[in-house]
A and B are shown apart, each in its own frame.
Chain A
Amino acid sequence: MVAIPSKHKSLALLGGVLLAQILLLAVQIKRDSRGRLIRVWAVTATSPFERTGAWGIGKVRGVWTHYFALQTTSRENEALRIENDALKLTIAQLQAKAAEADRLAALLNFRQSHRDVPMVGARVIAASAGTASRTIEIDRGERDGIRRNMAVITPDGAVGKVIEVFRDMAQVLLLTDKEGGAGAMLVGSRIQGPVGGTGEPTLIMKYVPTDEDVKVGEKLVTSGMDKIFPRDIPVGTVVEVKAGNPFKQIRVQPAAKIDRLEEVIVLLSQTPVEFETEAQSTQTGAQNPAAKVPAAAAKP
């Protein structure tokens, strides 16, 4: 053991005794607003270490949490990803339901505004299996009063006709099928001609003489001459006119969204159906069915 020189011993004793008395003083002295001096000293002496310790612990914890303890994070991430996928699916389902609700509301609105026209609403349950034909199957059949050659429409316009009827379902030949078609006429010029499909999304208006004036953007409605569709059901819009010999080549964009059908209306008779024109729709809006004016009434 190393011996401490007596001079150093006395110095150490002096320091100890003084320190003890200073602490004794500090315990007794009470500063006005900061409590006893010993407490002030203790807090002042320890607070830097506490702050440093808290900072260091925070850093270490942060490093540990963000760089090392990632096992839980990975699991949480996986769980969140699964939950996110489920939520996405739910959102998609809800969006589909909302869209369906909109469509059904439009159908209901259409039916309510045409109470005098016998019609049946149907849901599209299947489509043609191949590209060779353009048909759909609906969930209404003979039991619902559906017969062959009945017109199938949507609130937007003509869709096709019933070609086969079963007890609880029916097949519909779309206008866009090569065999499909309807008697149509141009709204402005009253030029008539059959409209048929080509197997593509657009329709062709046939047998319009070359000398007739047909403009792009003109509307077509059913003429009623085919004994299937009532008059004045929107068929589509002219999107392309080419000169031909002896007939023009007129391409028509269908009014109904034929490639995205989910609900349709089957007309049980040839009673004329009133459709609101585009201009009227813009002016009055869809909220006021009473304001609808028959397209036929707008004719000159």
Chain B
Amino acid sequence: MNDTFELRSGETHIEVHKFFPGAIVAVTVAALVFQASAPVYLPKLEILDLPLLVTIYFGLSRRNPSTGLLLGTVIGLLQDALSGPTVPLGFYGIAKTIIGYLASSIGARLDTEHPAARFALTFGFFVLHQAILVLVRRLLLAQPEAWFNVHLAIAAGVNALLGMVLFLLFDRLRRRQ
């Protein structure tokens, strides 16, 4: 099996990356563990959403909507499971499923290797992810929550910056031909 594939879309060609065996699982578990345990010691880290960053990165890299949305689903449901009894299963799952699908769909059309593009996409996906969460809260859980606030903007920026750095590290997990 080849490590990389090429998707031809008009004149541009986009690579589909493969990762070392177990890399995706390991990164996912690490992100979930970090997300669940780090804020206990340092509450400020609550602002981070590493499972979301993992979902976005592998979606953009794999560039397959089906695997992207399934990965988002698994990560989201695990995050739900680790978030305690007050968060129903599916709350993060729905949001990360959509983000995984959109990320892999966009990754199949655009070159997302540039750090600036990654920053912008991560920022946008973070905001969209929060919007979906608010939507689910309002419609399904009947819990009123503000659509947008400064904290969201700051969190989006921080996560986008962190994503830009992390994505470079994750790039090292790619197999190269």
A10 CB contacts on chain B under 8 angstroms: 64-66, 69, 101, 105
Least CB separation from A37: chain B residue: B140
* B residues at A contact (CB < 8 Å): 64-66, 69-70, 73, 76-77, 88-91, 93-94, 97-98, 101, 105, 136, 140-142
The 6 closest A-B CB pairs, nearest first, are A10-B65, A21-B90, A28-B88, A25-B90, A24-B90, A10-B66
* A residues at B contact (CB < 8 Å): 6-7, 9-11, 13-14, 17-18, 21-22, 24-26, 28-29, 31, 37
Contact pick for B98, options A14, A26, A37, CB 8 Å: A14
Main secondary structure of the interface of B (DSSP, over half): helix
When the two chains form their complex, are residues A22 and B90 in contact, meaning their CB atoms are under 8 A apart?
yes
When the two chains form their complex, are residues A21 and B97 in contact, meaning their CB atoms are under 8 A apart?
yes
B105 CB contacts on chain A under 8 angstroms: 10
A31 CB contacts on chain B under 8 angstroms: 142
> Closest CB-CB distance, A11 to chain B, in whole Å?
8
B101 CB contacts on chain A under 8 angstroms: 10, 14
When the two chains form their complex, are residues B142 and A18 in contact, meaning their CB atoms are under 8 A apart?
no
> Closest CB-CB distance, B101 to chain A, in whole Å?
5
Decide: A13 near B69, CB < 8 A? Known: A22-B140, A25-B89, A29-B140: yes
When the two chains form their complex, are residues B88 and A29 in contact, meaning their CB atoms are under 8 A apart?
yes
Main secondary structure of the interface of A (DSSP, over half): helix
> Closest CB-CB distance, B82 to chain A, in whole Å?
16
> Closest CB-CB distance, B80 to chain A, in whole Å?
9
B64 CB contacts on chain A under 8 angstroms: 10
Contact pick for B140, options A11, A17, A26, CB 8 Å: A26
B140 CB contacts on chain A under 8 angstroms: 22, 25-26, 29, 37
> Closest CB-CB distance, B77 to chain A, in whole Å?
8
Least CB separation from A30: chain B residue: B88
Q: How far is the CA of A26 from the CA of B73 in the complex (A)?
A: 17
When the two chains form their complex, are residues A14 and B65 in contact, meaning their CB atoms are under 8 A apart?
yes
> Closest CB-CB distance, A294 to chain B, in whole Å?
100
A29 CB contacts on chain B under 8 angstroms: 88, 140-141
> Closest CB-CB distance, B87 to chain A, in whole Å?
10
A-B contact pairs, 23 of them (CB 8 A): A6-B66, A10-B101, A13-B66, A14-B69, A17-B73, A17-B97, A18-B94, A18-B97, A18-B98, A21-B73, A21-B76, A21-B77, A21-B89, A21-B90, A21-B93, A24-B93, A25-B88, A25-B89, A25-B90, A25-B141, A26-B140, A29-B141, A31-B142
A24 CB contacts on chain B under 8 angstroms: 88-90, 93
B73 CB contacts on chain A under 8 angstroms: 17, 21
Least CB separation from B95: chain A residue: A21
> Closest CB-CB distance, A211 to chain B, in whole Å?
115
Q: How far is the CA of A7 from the CA of B140 in the complex (A)?
A: 28
Knowing that A10-B65, A21-B77, A29-B88 are A-B contacts, what are 8 other residue pairs whose CB atoms are under 8 Å apart, sorted by A's residue number?
Answer: A14-B69, A18-B98, A24-B88, A24-B93, A25-B90, A25-B94, A28-B89, A28-B90
> Closest CB-CB distance, A12 to chain B, in whole Å?
10
